[in-house]
Amino acid sequence: MDFCNQVGLDIDFSSAGTLHKSLTEIYGADKYSRARKEVLTYMFSRPMQMALYFCTGVLADETLFHHYALNVPFYTHFTSPIRRYADIVVHRLLSASLGATPPIKMEKEAIQKQADHCNDRKMASKRVQELSADLFFSVFVRECGPLESEAMVMGVLSKAFDVLVLKFGVQKRIYCNASTSPALPLVDFRFQKAGKKPELTLLWEPEELEEESVPQVITIFTLVEVVLTADGAPLKYSALLKRPSLDK
């Protein structure tokens, strides 16, 4: 919220519905509007917590049962609209048809232990899915690259920044310090914050001796040109920032 106020974005965070409405109204109507929407969506979802299973007997504060994205004050496995019929009707009919006896009463600590295990498996599954997609795209870059594309900055750190590669929809981090590979031909770079707004100023090496260094300011929503290339390591790829042209 503080960051959006700093950059002049009028966003209503009071509920998921108002957030979605603000997002659809704020990002503009030019050819980069979709990219700005994706960047904003990433920024808004990054601090959100994934849904977790827990035993209601362990979590005493019922205000924590609230589901922000669905805007439901008391959200459980069985009050979920997509699970109510499947879990209560189908499971009980299946149990009855198999002649199953009622389950043995479990202590809440044992139920919470099962919930923690489910959370671990769910997080592991999500991570494997992300790695699989990244692996597939790495092979694509190695077979078809190098690939050039416009990219939009979606996060700025003290020595690096993250971009959304517009042509391929992937996210990549670009490092400024010379110890990384591939290294950028920079004379220097400076990081600063204007309020909550982070900003990197890159000073590019001149192409001719008599020329001066070319500055490039990197902040949220900055458009840059990148080249995706395969790394020396197997099944890895990097994003290399292209030198800005003087006429832009």
pLDDT in tens, 207-238: 777 777 889 999 888 999 999 998 877 778 88
> SS3 for 144?
helix
| Helix segments in the chain, DSSP class H | 2-6, 16-26, 33-45, 84, 91-97, 108-144
The pLDDT value given to residue 69:
79
Whether the pLDDT of residue 14 is over 70: the answer is: yes
Rounded mean pLDDT of 56-82?
Answer: 78
pTM of the predicted structure, to 2 decimals: 0.72
CA distances from 92 to 86, 98, 102, 103, 118 (A): 9, 10, 10, 12, 21
pLDDT in tens, 164-188: 998 898 889 999 886 655 678 888 8
**What residue segments make up the domains of the chain, in order of their start?**
2-48, 147-241
CATH topology of domain 147-241: OB fold (Dihydrolipoamide Acetyltransferase, E2P) (2.40.50)
The pLDDT value given to residue 211:
74
